[in-house]
Amino acid sequence: MFNFAWRRLSVAACANARRRAHHVTLGLLPLSFIPSITHADDVIADTTLPTVTVSAAASGGGGAAQPAVDPNLPGSVETVTRAQFENWNVANTEDVLKYMPNLAVRKRFIGDLNSIIAVRGTSNTQSARGLVYADGLLLSNLLGNNYSFPPRWSMVFPDEIQQVDVIYGPFSALYPGNSFGATVLISTRMPKKFEADADVKAFTQHFSLFGVNQNFNGSEASASIGDRIGKFSYLLGVNHLENTSQPLQFATLAKSGTPAKAGDTPVTGAYFYNNQTNAPTAVLGVNGEGIEHTVQDQFKLKMQYDFTPTLQAGFTLGYWHQTYSSATSTFLRDANGNPVYSGKVDIGGYEYTIPAAALAPSLGQSENWLYGVSLKTRNETGWNGEAIASYYDISNSVARTANSGAPGNDDGTVIFGDGTGWKTLDLRTTYTPAARQAGLANHWLSFGYHYDDYFLDNESYNTLNWRDGPAPTFANAFRGKTQTQAVYAQDAWHFLPRWKFVYGVRYEDWQAYDGSQASSATTIALAGVNQHHFSPKASLSFDVTDDLTLRASVGRAYRFPTVSELFQGQINGSSIVNNNPHLKPEDDLSKELTAEWAHWNGLFRFSLFQDDVKNTIFSQTDTTVIPSVTNFQNIGKVRSRGVETSYQGQDVFVRGLDLLASVAWTQSKIIENAQNPASVGKYFYRIPLWRATVATTYHIDERSAMTLAARYSGRQYNTLTNTDTNPDVFGGTSSYLVADAKFTFRPTKLSEIGVGVDNLFDERYFVYHPYPGRTFYLEAKLRM
């Protein structure tokens, strides 16, 4: 009897025999995944089959082995390998996820710091509903739960990635409750011999909207060097990115009905449009986030030492530094052609009052360090153990914003975030039985302990020179910490030849403490809080045939509040605003039915899923009190249900054609919301009804390949009450269909040239902010 893991390996073996040996077959991908921290490099055999390891090195991978398949994962997994995404337009790490089923990345421009993944019933502002690991090191920024707290993708640069796996849902006890959106596992390569790589990219887009009509350009360069010397291996990489974004935000005012008065400054240059609620709106210029220029530098060192063939130690040092400046501009001109930034103005005979800060620029910098150490055993059978510890340190963080965009007005605010970061520790042991004897039950066991500590310190000051001057006057501050300790156990029990039952439980003890808010006159300590919960998981799978597997999974997960949700805000006089230290954790019950079918040189997946989330944490207005209060609150219940279909295959229809395709339908609705009754029965925030992706790569010959791809996202809402009836404008959240293309040519075995384009038809689409216009890429690589 062949189990499903062996079927995936068989598909790969057959395809590799037909095709280039260095390409990993796409047909095995959707459920092959990097083993969890404990299962790394383990290979699990079936009843009558010997242990099998796939060692297909991706092109340019330095001979790195393909991670082994873990057949005991209790949920759906989708995978992308280096052999695939090297034929896509990839500038930042998160780009490798762009064609995953029922998943979208909120990336507003190349180098955007706010790239959040949205998957199933999790929107692109719920950053704490997902986990991102790189080689077992946690990159998820669980200090908050919105676009300002994305995973630290910058600690991995694309050229070091070997494989990325997305686990859907909270069905494994091995991962924290934040996993009930998705868990992203990034596996990076280590060299087996000397290697040196260099990669240079240039990109440009033309963008036109309102008063902006110009090109925005950027470049990226990376290099790495590595070797294996006896038992020691290392990989050292650097990356430099510089880019200028399209306008991200515009200064707007509702169209006025008040006639202009004497003394109002007559101006021209304003643009008018109907906003997301179809209200007539005046556009005054590019504001706030404006046109962002970013410069990012990255350094990464990884080292491994094999004490014995089964005992390995690892060390990771990551450094990332960013500076940015957001330029603003006004469209308004007075009678003499001078720019106008604020005050009472006359636009078309009507009076408008422009706030001083409406067109204020900003700039800032951030310095980040990642330290990681690991020690693990790698026995094929029997007991294994692993210890992994990490520390993410934001050693320097400064954000400066002017109070006015007018020339000569230099006062502003400075926000310091130094001393913010997180620490983690994971201890795990696993047991893998030897090859089974027919008819005897077997158990794959996992036990573990997890610890994390997140700490946030935010201080704001007033300054007379917002660009680079001292900040002597304290304005306000908030700080706080959260800590989680967890223990878990999981068993994959093969109790009959074709049946498998994976079950487990996770116990999490969480506390928030040391929270406070302060102004120049007052400091208020905020009460700490403690919660603890058990999260049971279970999955039953049945191999109907050698090619078809059915699986039913259910799991409970608790997503605890973040520091920012609990404590962030400010003191205005003696009143605390914009915080809620009494939030309940999100309580999710997830269910999934899945069929997986190995056929037509690939693998089909069909999944039905439902997430019932009680106490969803979201920023909303409590309309049941007077005056109304806007802050993070618990929404009684949100239900998300849907259907996913996906296919990945190689040599599809014709020799040399690789295909990834998916279609997903998700209905996410608010079932209970006592604080905002008008939202009950409405669609939840930014969850599209439909998502679809397709990516085809045709390998013309050994040296060249052509990729054509498309991404579709359907109707979604930018408000909980679904009042945004005009979504395809600035301020709305669009439906979109965008096409991408890339041609890759390898003149020699050591060189590569790529020419690509994203958003081929220059679709103008929005996630409140405009997404990029048509973007062209030119890339050159050299390997040794």
- Please tell me the distance from the alpha carbon of residue 240 to that of residue 625, in angstroms, as a whole number: 51
- For residue 15, pLDDT beyond 60: no
Do residues 531 and 502 make contact, with C-beta atoms less than 8 angstroms apart?
Answer: no
Instruction: Say whether 358 sits in a helix, a strand or coil.
Output: helix
Write down the pLDDT at residue 643: 98
Write down the pLDDT at residue 436: 55
- Please tell me the distance from the alpha carbon of residue 781 to that of residue 746, in angstroms, as a whole number: 9
Residue bearing tokens 């530094």: 321
- Please tell me the distance from the alpha carbon of residue 331 to that of residue 501, in angstroms, as a whole number: 64
- For residue 576, pLDDT beyond 60: no
Write down the pLDDT at residue 70: 65
**pLDDT tens-digit series, residues 429-453:** 999 988 654 434 589 999 999 999 9
Write down the pLDDT at residue 582: 81
Going across the sheet that includes 343-347, the strands are: 265-266, 343-347, 350-354
Question: How many other C-beta atoms can be found within 10 angstroms of the C-beta atom of residue 219?
Answer: 16
Cα–Cα distances in angstroms (integers) from residue 392 to residues 114, 300, 398, 454, in the given order: 18, 14, 17, 9
Q: β-strands 265-266, 343-347: how paired?
A: parallel
- For residue 579, pLDDT beyond 90: no
Write down the pLDDT at residue 578: 60
**pLDDT tens-digit series, residues 27-69:** 333 333 223 333 333 333 332 222 223 333 333 333 333 444 4
Write down the pLDDT at residue 24: 31
Write down the pLDDT at residue 682: 98
Whether cis (ω within 30° of 0) applies to the bond prior to 497 is no
User: If you average pLDDT over residues 186-209, what whole number do you get?
Assistant: 96
Q: In the 3-class helix/strand/coil scheme, how is 406-458 assigned residue by residue?
A: CCCCCCEEEEECCCEEEEEEEEEEEEECCCCCCCCCEEEEEEEEEEEEEEEEE
**pLDDT tens-digit series, residues 702-747:** 999 999 999 999 999 999 999 999 999 999 999 999 999 999 999 9
**pLDDT tens-digit series, residues 480-539:** 999 999 999 999 999 888 999 999 999 999 999 999 988 888 888 888 899 999 999 999
Q: Which CATH code fits 4-783?
A: 2.40.170.20
- Bigger pLDDT: 577 vs 554: 554
- Bigger pLDDT: 600 vs 757: 757
Angle, vertex CA 580, rays to CA 574 and CA 581, nearest 5: 100
Mean pLDDT of the chain: 89
Instruction: Say whether 438 sits in a helix, a strand or coil.
Output: coil
Instruction: Say whether 179 sits in a helix, a strand or coil.
Output: helix
- Please tell me the distance from the alpha carbon of residue 43 to that of residue 51, in angstroms, as a whole number: 6
Write down the pLDDT at residue 230: 96
Six token digits for residue 433: 């039985």
- Bigger pLDDT: 591 vs 288: 591
**pLDDT tens-digit series, residues 213-260:** 999 999 999 999 999 999 999 999 999 999 999 999 999 999 999 999
H-type alpha helices, 491-618: 563-567
User: If you average pLDDT over residues 670-677, what whole number do you get?
Assistant: 97
Write down the pLDDT at residue 47: 29
Total length of the chain: 784
Write down the pLDDT at residue 630: 83
- For residue 22, pLDDT beyond 90: no
Q: Which of 253, 287, 257 is nearest to 270 (CA)?
A: 253
- Bigger pLDDT: 68 vs 671: 671
Give this prediction's pTM: 0.90
Six token digits for residue 107: 């990336």
